Amino acid sequence: MLNKRPGVIAWLSFLLALGAGALTVFAFAPYRLWWLMPLLLAALGVLAERRPQQGFALGYGFGLAAYTSNFHWIYQSLHNVAGLPAFIAAPLVLLLPAYLALYPGLTLWWVGRLQPRPSLRWLIAFPAAWTLTEWLRSWMLTGFPWGAIGYSQITESPLSSFAPIGGIHLVTFAVALTAGAVVTLYRLRGAWLLLPIAASTALWWGAVALKPLRWTEPAGAPISVALGQGNIPQALKWRPDVYEMTLARYYRQVATTRADLMILPETALPAFLDDLPAGYLTMLLGDATRKNMALALGIPRHTRDGEGYLNAVVALTEPGAPSYAKDHLVPFGEFVPLPLVTGWIYQFMDMPMSGFSRGGARQAPIALAGQKVAFNVCYEDSFGEELIGPAKSATMLANVSNLAWFGKSNAMSQHLQLSQARALETGRPMLRATNTGMTAIIGPDGRIDAVAAPDTEQVLTGQVQGYGGDTPYMRVGNMPVLLGAALLALIAGLIGRRR
* 1 band by pLDDT with thresholds 50, 70 and 90: very low
Mean pLDDT, residues 247-267 taken together:
96
Strand, helix or coil for residue 374: strand
| Alpha-carbon gap, residue 250 to 299, rounded angstroms | 12
pLDDT for 302 beyond 70: yes
Identify the pLDDT of residue 187.
80
The fraction of the chain above a pLDDT of 90, given in percent, is: 74
In this predicted structure, the answer to whether residue 69 has a pLDDT above a threshold of 90 is: yes
Q: Give residue 499's pLDDT.
A: 46
Burial class (CB in 10 A: 0-12, 13-18, 19+), 251: middle
- pLDDT of 134 > 50? The answer is yes
Contact 144, 137 (CB under 8 A): yes
> Cα 108 to the chain's mean position, in Å?
24
Cβ atoms 349, 83 nearer than 8 A: yes
* pLDDT category of residue 149 using cuts at 50, 70 and 90: very high
Q: At what angle do helices 163-187 and 126-137 cross, to 10 degrees?
A: 140
25 — pLDDT class (breaks 50, 70, 90): very high
The pLDDT, as a whole number, for residue 142 is 86
Distance CA(208)–CA(189), nearest Å, equals 28
CB 388 within 8 A of CB 426: yes
CB-CB contact of 178 with 38 (8 Å)? yes
Average pLDDT over residues 231-260: 93
Identify the CA nearest to 63 among candidates 40, 79, 46. 40
For domain 217-470, give the fold: Nitrilase/N-carbamoyl-D-aminoacid amidohydrolase (3.60.110)
pLDDT digits (tens, 9 = 90+) for 412-431: 999 999 999 999 999 999 99
| Band (443; pLDDT cuts 50, 70, 90) | very high
Beta strands in 118-274 (DSSP E): 217-218, 223-229, 261-263
Strands 430-434 and 440-442: antiparallel
| Axis-axis angle for helices 240-255, 280-290 (nearest 10) | 20
Least confident of 72-86, 100-114, 136-150, 173-187: 72-86
H or E element that contains 375? strand 371-377
**pTM of the complete model:** 0.94
**Farthest CA pair distance, the chain:** 82
Q: What values do phi and psi take at 421, rounded to 5?
A: -65, -40
pLDDT at 3: 53
Rg from Cα positions in the chain: 24
pLDDT of 353 higher than 70: no
pLDDT band at 2 (very low <50, low <70, confident <90, very high): very low
The sign of the CA dihedral 259, 392, 388, 312 is positive
CA 200 to chain centre: 27
Say whether pLDDT at 333 is over 80.
Answer: no
Does the structure show a pLDDT above 70 at 348? no
Question: Do residues 395 and 384 touch, judged by C-beta distance below 8 A?
Answer: no
Cβ within 8 Å of residue 312, ≥6 positions away: 273, 298, 299, 300, 301, 323, 324, 325, 326, 359
**Arithmetic mean of pLDDT over the chain:** 91
pLDDT at 340 over 60: no
pLDDT band at 345 (very low <50, low <70, confident <90, very high): low
93 vs 77: CA distance, rounded Å: 10
Name the residues annotated as catalytic: 266, 326, 378
Question: Per-residue pLDDT tens for 354-396?
Answer: 678 899 888 999 999 999 999 999 989 999 999 999 999 999 9
Burial of 276 (0-12, 13-18, 19+ CB in 10 A): middle
CA distance to 233, 248, 318, 393, 451, per residue, from 346 (Å): 21, 31, 38, 40, 35
Does the pLDDT value for residue 53 go beyond 50?
yes
Q: How confident is the model at residue 12 (pLDDT cuts 50, 70, 90)?
A: very high
pLDDT average, residue stretch 199-212? 94
What is the residue extent of each domain of the chain?
Answer: 2-214+477-498, 217-470
Distances from the Cα of 34 to the Cα of 37, 318, 382, angstroms: 6, 43, 19
What's the rounded Cα separation, in Å, for the pair 423 and 493?
A: 36
